[in-house]
Structure 1
Amino acid sequence: MSDAHTDPAALPAILQTLRTAWQANRPTLEQRRDDLQRLRAALKARLPDMAAAISADFGHRSTHESLIADGMTVLGDIDHLCGHLRGWMRPRRVGVGWRFWPARAQTRPVPLGVVGVISPWNYPVNLALIPLATAIAAGNHVILKPSEHTPRTSAFLQSLLTDVFPSDRVAVVQGDGDLAGALAGSPLDHLVFTGSTTIGRKVMAAAAEHLTPLTLELGGKSPAIVCSDYPLEKAAARLATGKFFNAGQTCIAPDYVLIDGHRQRELVQQLQTQVQARYGDFSDAADYTRIIHDGQYQRLRGYLEEARARGVPVIELAMVDPERAQRERLIVPTIVLDPPADLALMREEIFGPILPVCAYPDLDAAIAAVQSRDRPLALYVFSHERMQVERVLAQVVAGGVTVNDTLLHFAVNGLPFGGVGPSGMGAYHARAGFDAMSKQLPILWQSRWAASDLLKPPYSKIAVMLKAMVR
């Protein structure tokens, strides 16, 4: 683990080095592909080191979850970028209309310059390398600031990227929130930030000084609506995956479930069955991830203590010794039944393995409950009746949707990923990210002869033509 930290005062020189190199040698298709392929090969060779570093930062994280969430996703995204890059780089023809004939027009994606990436701790490789790889694919140079809460993984990233890229193409800077604030306030050509809504507002304010374009992937309370026709055993299995993967430390994890009231208790029983089948009695819990640090652990314990103090049913789906739980920062999957809206766990993003399960009388009430909150980063609808799903989709605006499952829209390489309103702005992944980190340069090619040559005083000479043009 490296103790090296970057002085915020050093940022201007680092940025100038990246920008000067980019201006002198803008990356070609061949260079972009070569960079991506070398990054892929280096990461694949070091997946065991990656998983070990992440697990050490968490206290314990399932190796398999790291390989799926931080390995598979990045390798798959790089493959998608490489496979489509040539086509994405081609200019796109745009019709000019008869008024401008015989001119022709196109949009041409051109690189922006230097892209900043500020990545979080919950998926510390995925959420650092996917935007970085996308920026490289778009022909930019990159400065990455990984999370200070995963120092071993940040050191891994610095070592990996130093071996793959020259220092004037990709720079890794390490530090705390002061460094992140300084980077957000730097004259970047684009900035990708992943984190909380609260910090996202600060990032946006800092970026405003230079009018830096932003992609903000934030968070919020992502709902799951289980319609009355959907089998509870299958709903519980898929909700358990979405909520308890990475111990709920996922920005698109289901944050609360809405279910028809007469099936609420049965869903809880099915969730308990899922937990038992997946993790046993937690005597080992090798496949269950711990909470990242004590601050997050105490925050989550505080949510449960507040609920209990208010007389709200709190159902732990497994039992562990309290001293062990404290020592390991282990919070078992926990259900909270019908918590009041003013509880902290219903006002704030939970970001842990605590799942409120709320009864609703009908689908309209469930939709109204979702609409009463900020627009979520993710929405999950469970129903085999297409009309019910369409009713929800027609009335709820969310960053992304998975129907009859959870999380998976993030992993589909061709789908854009991003929030809306307080859950974020802009999108990345695949073509959406490539376009966001490029300038879609509009170009009009005028012909040797053009009607515009006639558009000059005295206009009385072209009165008939003008009348036709404004008809």
Structure 2
Amino acid sequence: MEINGEFLEETVRELRQYFRSGSTRSVTWRKNQLTALLDLVHKNEDAISESLYQDLGKHPVEAFRDESDIPLLFFPAKGEVLAEPLGVVLIFSSWNFPIMLALDPLIGAIAAGNVVVIKPSEQAPACSSFLANTIPRYLDSNAIRVIEGGAAVSQQLLLHKWDKIFFTGSPRVARFVMSAAAKNLTPVTLELGGKCPAILDSLPNPSDFKLAVKRIVGGKWGPCSGQACIGIDYVLVEEKVSSHLVELLKKIIRRFYGDNPIESKVISRIVNKQNFTRLCNLLKDPLVAASIVHGGSVEEKHLFIEPTILLDPPLDADVMTEEIFGPLLPIITVNKIGESIEFINSRPKPLAIYAFTKDETLKRRILTETSSGSVTFNDTMVQFLCDTLPFGGVGQSGFGRYHGKYSFDTFSHEKAVMHRSLCLEIEPRYPPWSKFKLEFLRLAYKLNYFGLLLHILGLKRYNQLSCLL
């Protein structure tokens, strides 16, 4: 059968559409499919054996032994998982939190027993210099090195073979990192960004609404003037409360940063001229400029951009298709807040979703109908500070996770170890094959399946006795 590109494209489209329908999320669907798969194997044993014989010349008894789950044949035995260090690790840190995003993954790499090279961002030269000069005074220089430099140094580093690469930065650069890692099949963790939305429900209690807006201001302009991967990128709100939202935002911005924010000394500047120019260009679109309802002033000398609010900018404008990573906050209005879910799903998966609501149904829909690195209800940024939660993205916002124990896991290989005894041997596992050996294997399979059921029911003692690994 010849398969053309259109057929494959249609197949992938249909599968993606079915996944989006949510059918595969239900426990009933999963159980039914697994039961059907088990039924497939049981009812087609002869056909499976015949196929294996035709392709590989396998005897039916050998086929049953190799294709079935019968660890009782290995009794007595025990298994364990041993965490071992991956080896030589390369960590690229980002410029917006240049100290924390270097030391945080370093903690996990050291805890797992690796040796490490840290490449700080050249866009934060003072912090890069601090790390390069200070780390050798405290840590083992035989195991932990800091290498400074620009893009050329990064490229040189990527030419070498690493046992793990941990990268924090933009999706654009991440593609180069992943491409270089692929040459040596090096595993990577990519901590990227994304347009993180905030869903603001129409909270009837004025104090609740005001507190939510206050936390939105903190989650947008508080972390490095919007230059944060988990910072709020845009807000979704019902049109009927959008004007009230704008007025509250203005009021809280003035309370936090004063009437002239550039003089407040409590709001960060843009990191460099390149990013300053990029942000200014986002505002040069006439339709975007027309949507500004607060702020918009810039000061090139100090690389400063005022906290700026945009109300319903064009959805196809760069400010709504690119990660902003700066102090510009678009507000997108919807008729009903539930429409925000469809809006989010129409775009790449974000690193974080923030939702301010008391509606349990809306919460459940956000959790089950959207995909993101994390979801935080009724606050912003706090999930990053909780080390008992994994931190990481999904899709275009990255993959892999770290923080707390998850950092240790990220920089470790979980090696499966099985311990056998030499005091007992079960001969039916070996050829020459016979009908008796096949029946023996069938019995072992049935006993193992019975043991698994007992284990599921909580009878762990049987599981330990039979060494179900």
TM-score class, shorter: 0.7 to 0.9
Q: Does 1:421 align with 2:399?
A: no
Report what 1:336 is aligned to. Answer: 310
Structure 1 contact 312–338 (Cα < 8 Å) conserved: no
Report what 1:286 is aligned to. Answer: 265
Give the drift of 1:98: 4.2
Report what 1:130 is aligned to. Answer: 104
Report what 2:444 is aligned to. Answer: 469
> Cα gap change, 1:251/1:226 in structure 2, threshold over 3 Å: closer, same or farther?
same
Report what 1:217 is aligned to. Answer: 191
- CA distance in 2 between counterparts of 1:283 and 1:250 reads 19
Report what 1:44 is aligned to. Answer: none
Report Cα offsets for 1:122-176 as digits up to 9, x if no partner: 0000111101111001111100000011111100011111101232211111111
Q: Amino acid of the residue matched to residue 378 of structure 2?
A: N
* Paired residue total: 372
Structure 1 contact 229–385 (Cα < 8 Å) conserved: no
Report Cα offsets for 1:412-453 as digits up to 9, x if no partner: 011111111111011111111211100100001112345554
Q: Does 1:192 align with 2:166?
A: yes
Report what 1:373 is aligned to. Answer: 347
Q: Amino acid of the residue matched to residue 211 of structure 2?
A: K
Structure 2 contact 236–340 (Cα < 8 Å) conserved: yes
240, 258, 281: which one pairs with 2:217? 240
Report Cα offsets for 1:366-393 as digits up to 9, x if no partner: 1000000011111111111222111111
Report Cα offsets for 1:176-231 as digits up to 9, x if no partner: 11221232332111110000011111110011111110000011111111122363
Give the drift of 1:296: 0.7
Structure 1 contact 103–450 (Cα < 8 Å) conserved: no
RMSD (Å), alpha carbons: 1.9
Q: Amino acid of the residue matched to residue 286 of structure 1?
A: K
- CA distance in 1 between counterparts of 2:410 and 2:316 reads 38
Q: Which moved more, 1:281-290 or 1:292-301?
A: 281-290
TM-score (norm 2): 0.76
Structure 1 contact 378–399 (Cα < 8 Å) conserved: yes
Structure 1 contact 331–353 (Cα < 8 Å) conserved: yes
Q: How does 1:309-388 map to 2 (within 5 A)?
A: 309=287, 312-317=290-295, 325-388=299-362
- CA distance in 2 between counterparts of 1:445 and 1:361 reads 62
Q: Does 1:268 align with 2:242?
A: no
> Cα gap change, 1:96/1:401 in structure 2, threshold over 3 Å: closer, same or farther?
farther
- CA distance in 2 between counterparts of 1:220 and 1:380 reads 13
Structure 2 contact 132–146 (Cα < 8 Å) conserved: yes
> Cα gap change, 1:399/1:103 in structure 2, threshold over 3 Å: closer, same or farther?
same
Q: Which has the larger radius of gyration?
A: 2
Give the drift of 1:341: 1.7
Structure 1 contact 232–266 (Cα < 8 Å) conserved: no
3-state SS of the aligned residue for 1:415? coil
Report Cα offsets for 1:250-309 as digits up to 9, x if no partner: 001111110011001111111111111111122621111111111111111111121x44
- CA distance in 1 between counterparts of 2:414 and 2:328 reads 43
Q: Does 1:298 align with 2:298?
A: no
Report Cα offsets for 1:35-77 as digits up to 9, x if no partner: xxxxxxxxxxxxxxxxxxxxxxxxxxxxxxxxxxxxxxxxxxx
- CA distance in 2 between counterparts of 1:164 and 1:302 reads 44
3-state SS of the aligned residue for 1:363? coil
> Cα gap change, 1:310/1:130 in structure 2, threshold over 3 Å: closer, same or farther?
closer
- CA distance in 2 between counterparts of 1:452 and 1:183 reads 52
TM-score (norm 1): 0.76
- CA distance in 1 between counterparts of 2:423 and 2:196 reads 57
Structure 1 contact 233–270 (Cα < 8 Å) conserved: yes
3-state SS of the aligned residue for 2:220? helix
Q: Amino acid of the residue matched to residue 240 of structure 1?
A: V
Q: Amino acid of the residue matched to residue 212 of structure 1?
A: T
3-state SS of the aligned residue for 2:247? helix
- CA distance in 2 between counterparts of 1:355 and 1:237 reads 14
Report what 1:407 is aligned to. Answer: 381
Q: Amino acid of the residue matched to residue 300 of structure 2?
A: Q
* Structure 1: 5+ residue stretches without partners: 1-94
- CA distance in 2 between counterparts of 1:334 and 1:123 reads 22
Q: How does 1:34-45 map to 2 (within 5 A)?
A: none
218, 221, 227: which one pairs with 2:201? 227
Report what 2:412 is aligned to. Answer: 438
* Structure 2: 5+ residue stretches without partners: 1-68, 447-469
- CA distance in 2 between counterparts of 1:184 and 1:348 reads 27
- How many percent of aligned residue pairs carry the same amino acid? 37
> Cα gap change, 1:383/1:310 in structure 2, threshold over 3 Å: closer, same or farther?
closer
Q: Amino acid of the residue matched to residue 130 of structure 1?
A: D
- CA distance in 2 between counterparts of 1:186 and 1:214 reads 14
Give the drift of 1:394: 0.7
Q: Amino acid of the residue matched to residue 214 of structure 2?
A: A
Structure 1 contact 185–210 (Cα < 8 Å) conserved: no
Report what 1:392 is aligned to. Answer: 366
> Cα gap change, 1:251/1:311 in structure 2, threshold over 3 Å: closer, same or farther?
closer
Structure 2 contact 219–231 (Cα < 8 Å) conserved: yes
- CA distance in 2 between counterparts of 1:410 and 1:145 reads 22
